[in-house]
C-alpha cells in the first residue's frame, strides 16, 4: 500500500489537498493522471449503467438540500458514528467501534465515554444563521433521486422497472478517515436507484449484485479471486434495508467494501410521501394498479474504484534484466491509453510523431512523450503510469510509413502501417492481452 501511495504522488495521480499549508485530513487533490483516470471511470460507469441500457435515465441534483429531506430519510438521527475523545495529551478523536479498551491508541491517555456524532456537514443558506436557514451538504446522492421521482415519472416515458442514475460529490465528516483515499470526507458517488414492483425485489436484487460483480471483472479487469460477496446479517442492516450485499476487495489492509447493493424496500418514497404530503405512488399503465415501488440500489464511490484499480494493477517485475514498476491497468480506465514516442528529437521524426498523435487523439487518450532519456527509460515511465500501448516512430518510419506498437504487459512489439494503426489499436483496446 505504501508503494502505491508513493507512486500516486510521484507520477501525478493524487496529492494531499493544500499540501503547502500542511494539508487537511481526509481531503485529496487529483493530478493530471488522476483526473484522466477518474473521468475514465465515471464515463465507463455511465456508459454501462445508462447509455447501453433502455431502462435507466440520468439525474443531477443539488449538493445542498434542506433539513426536511434529511429528517425524512432518517439521516439526522441514524447517520451517526460513536465517538470517543482522548482526555490525555493528544486530544485526538476516535471511532469507538474501531478501538479496544479505554486508552488512547496515540498517547495512552484516558478516553471519555462514547457519544454519537452525526457525519453530515451543516451550513446555512442566506445572510442569517439560525435554525430556519440550516441546510446540509449531501452525504449521498440517493435522496435527490427519490425527491425527484415524481418529476422523472411525469416528464419522461419511463415505466417500472426502471432506474435513475446519478454521479456527483458527497460529503461525510468522518471521525477517522484513513487508508489513503479509501475513506475520505469529500468523495464522488455513483449511485443508481432501480424502481421495481414490490413483489419483484428479490429477483432484481440478485440481478444487480451479479451484474455489478461482472462489470468489475470483465470491464475493469479486476482480479476475480480478490473479489467476494459479503451479505450483511439482519442485525447489521441499515434502517432502510431489507437485504444488502457488499462487493468486497482484498486490500493490503484486509477485505473492504468496494460497492454496496441494497434492497431499500419502499422506505424512501414512503417517508418522503408522508413528510411532504405529495403523492409519490406509481400508476401501472398495464394493470391500473397504484403502488409505491421498491428500490434496489447499487452504490459506489469513484475513489473506491480508483484505489482498488491501483492496488490490483500494481506490480514489480524484470524486463531485459532491469527491474520495473508497472500498473497493469485495463485500457478502459488507464489515464493514457496510447503514448506516441519519437525515437529521437530529429525534426523529421518529430513531425511524423505529431501527425500520428493528431491521428489517434480522436479515438484514444493519447500522450506525446518526447522527454529526455533513451527509449527504454520512456517505456518504463509509461509502464509506471499504466499506459497499455506505446507507438514508436523511428528512422525506418520515414521510408516504410510504419510504426512499432509496444504492449505494456507482454512487452511484445509489432510493426504496422500508419494507415492501419488506429484500427489495430482499437482491436487491442477492445480485447487486450492482460495475461
Alpha-carbon span 13 to 208, nearest angstrom:
31
pLDDT at residue number 215: 97
At 434 the pLDDT is: 53
The burial of 380, by beta-carbon neighbours within 10 Å (0-12 exposed, 13-18 middle, 19 or more buried), is given as: middle
pLDDT band at 82 (very low <50, low <70, confident <90, very high): confident
Cis status, amide bond into 161, omega within 30 of 0: yes
Domains along the chain with CATH numbers: 2-65+140-310 (3.30.930.10), 336-430 (3.40.50.800)
pLDDT-derived band at 129 (thresholds 50, 70, 90) equals confident
The predicted model gives 145-157 an average pLDDT of 96
Say yes or no to pLDDT of 382 above 90: yes
Residues 289-306 have pLDDT tens digits of: 999 999 999 999 999 999
d(CA 351, CA 348): 5
Taking only the tens place, the pLDDT of each residue in 405-429 is: 999 999 999 999 999 999 999 999 9
pTM above threshold 0.85: yes
Model confidence band, residue 433 (pLDDT cutoffs 50, 70, 90): low
Residue 174 pLDDT level (bands cut at 50, 70, 90): confident
Please identify which residue in the block is written with the cell numbers 487523439: 361
Q: Residue 187 above 70 pLDDT?
A: yes
Whole-number Å distance between alpha carbons of 170 and 172? 7
Quote the percentage of the chain above a pLDDT of 70. Answer: 99
Confidence of residue 115 (pLDDT cuts 50, 70, 90): confident
β-pairing, 294-301 vs 314-319, is: unpaired
Which residues touch 162 (CB under 8 Å, ≥6 apart)?
Answer: 55, 56, 57, 194, 195
Amino acid at each position: 500500500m505504501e508503494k502505491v501511495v508513493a507512486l500516486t504522488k510521484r507520477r501525478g495521480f493524487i496529492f494531499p489537498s493544500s499540501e503547502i499549508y500542511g494539508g487537511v485530513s481526509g481531503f485529496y487533490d487529483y493530478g493530471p493522471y488522476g483526473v484522466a483516470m477518474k473521468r475514465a471511470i465515471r464515463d465507463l460507469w455511465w456508459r454501462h449503467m445508462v447509455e447501453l441500457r433502455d431502462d435507466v435515465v440520468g439525474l443531477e441534483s443539488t449538493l445542498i438540500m434542506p433539513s426536511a429531506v434529511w429528517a425524512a430519510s432518517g439521516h439526522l438521527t441514524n447517520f451517526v458514528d460513536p465517538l470517543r475523545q482522548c482526555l490525555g495529551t493528544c486530544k485526538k478523536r476516535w471511532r469507538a467501534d474501531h478501538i479496544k479498551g479505554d486508552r488512547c491508541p496515540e498517547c495512552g491517555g484516558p478516553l471519555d465515554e462514547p457519544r454519537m456524532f452525526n457525519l453530515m456537514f451543516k451550513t446555512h443558506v442566506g445572510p442569517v444563521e439560525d435554525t430556519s436557514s440550516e441546510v446540509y451538504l449531501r452525504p449521498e446522492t440517493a435522496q435527490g433521486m427519490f425527491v425527484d421521482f415524481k418529476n422523472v415519472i411525469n416528464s419522461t416515458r419511463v415505466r417500472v422497472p426502471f432506474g435513475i442514475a446519478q454521479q456527483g460529490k458527497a460529503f461525510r465528516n468522518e471521525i477517522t478517515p484513513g487508508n489513503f483515499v479509501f475513506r475520505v470526507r469529500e468523495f464522488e458517488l455513483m449511485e443508481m436507484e432501480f424502481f421495481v414492483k414490490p413483489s419483484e425485489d428479490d429477483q432484481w436484487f440478485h440481478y444487480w449484485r451479479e451484474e455489478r460483480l461482472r462489470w468489475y471483472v470483465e470491464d475493469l479487469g479486476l482480479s476475480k479471486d480478490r473479489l467476494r460477496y459479503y451479505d450483511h446479517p439482519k442485525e447489521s442492516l441499515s434502517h432502510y434495508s431489507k437485504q444488502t450485499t457488499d462487493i468486497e476487495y482484498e486490500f493490503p489492509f484486509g477485505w473492504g467494501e468496494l460497492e454496496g447493493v441494497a434492497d431499500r424496500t419502499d422506505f424512501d418514497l414512503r417517508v418522503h410521501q408522508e413528510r411532504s404530503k405529495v403523492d409519490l405512488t406509481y400508476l401501472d399503465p398495464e394493470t391500473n394498479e397504484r403502488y409505491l415501488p421498491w428500490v434496489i440500489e447499487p452504490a459506489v464511490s469513484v475513489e473506491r474504484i480508483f484505489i482498488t484499480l491501483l492496488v490490483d494493477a500494481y506490480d514489480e517485475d524484470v524486463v531485459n534484466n532491469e527491474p520495473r514498476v508497472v500498473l497493469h491497468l485495463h485500457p478502459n480506465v488507464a489515464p493514457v491509453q496510447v503514448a506516441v514516442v519519437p525515437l529521437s528529437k530529429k525534426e523529421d521524426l518529430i513531425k511524423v510523431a505529431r501527425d500520428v498523435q493528431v491521428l489517434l487523439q480522436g479515438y484514444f487518450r493519447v500522450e506525446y512523450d518526447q522527454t529526455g532519456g533513451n527509449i527504454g527509460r520512456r517505456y518504463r515511465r509509461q509502464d509506471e503510469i499504466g499506459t497499455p500501448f506505446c507507438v514508436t516512430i523511428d528512422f525506418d518510419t520515414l521510408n516504410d510509413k510504419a510504426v512499432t506498437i509496444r504492449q505494456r504487459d507482454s512487452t511484445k512489439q509489432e510493426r504496422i502501417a500508419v494507415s492501419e494503426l488506429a484500427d489495430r489499436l482499437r482491436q487491442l483496446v477492445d480485447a487486450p492481452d492482460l495475461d
